[in-house]
Amino acid sequence: MKFAIQINEGPYQHQAADSAYLFTKAALEKGHEIFRVFFYHDGVGNSTRLTTPPQDDRHIVNRWAALAEQYNLDLVVCVAAAQRRGMVDDGEAERNRKDATNIHPKFRISGLGQLIEAAVQSDRLMVFGD
């Protein structure tokens, strides 16, 4: 089965990010395909390279990055949601004249069209969080 994953909650404020990660990992290990993981609303917080949790805590951003590396996942961050929360990659920083970036390099910024495409191309769209 081919899944699209949508994450609407931040990495440490709600169980949704952990549940989405664990579901995605389990689906991949069982041989299913993940067409795309789309981070929306507060879920864009799962993509910041500046996250620094305590050493004895899980590092959700690094978990997603490692999973993306292992399975060649497409991790997409909603551009509008990211900009509202002060999150930019190289292209958005240049376009908006910002002097820094904070998106982890395994993630990419794009628009809602990527979510629509993922939903159309997949058998199921799994939504985690409100």
Q: Which residues are catalytic?
A: 78
DSSP 57-105: S--HHHHHHHHHHHHT--EEEEHHHHHHTT---HHHHHHTT-S---B-T
Helix (H) or strand (E) holding 34: strand 33-39
Contact (CB, 8 A) for 53 and 18: no
Contact (CB, 8 A) for 81 and 112: no
Distance between CA atoms of residues 37 and 125, nearest Å: 10
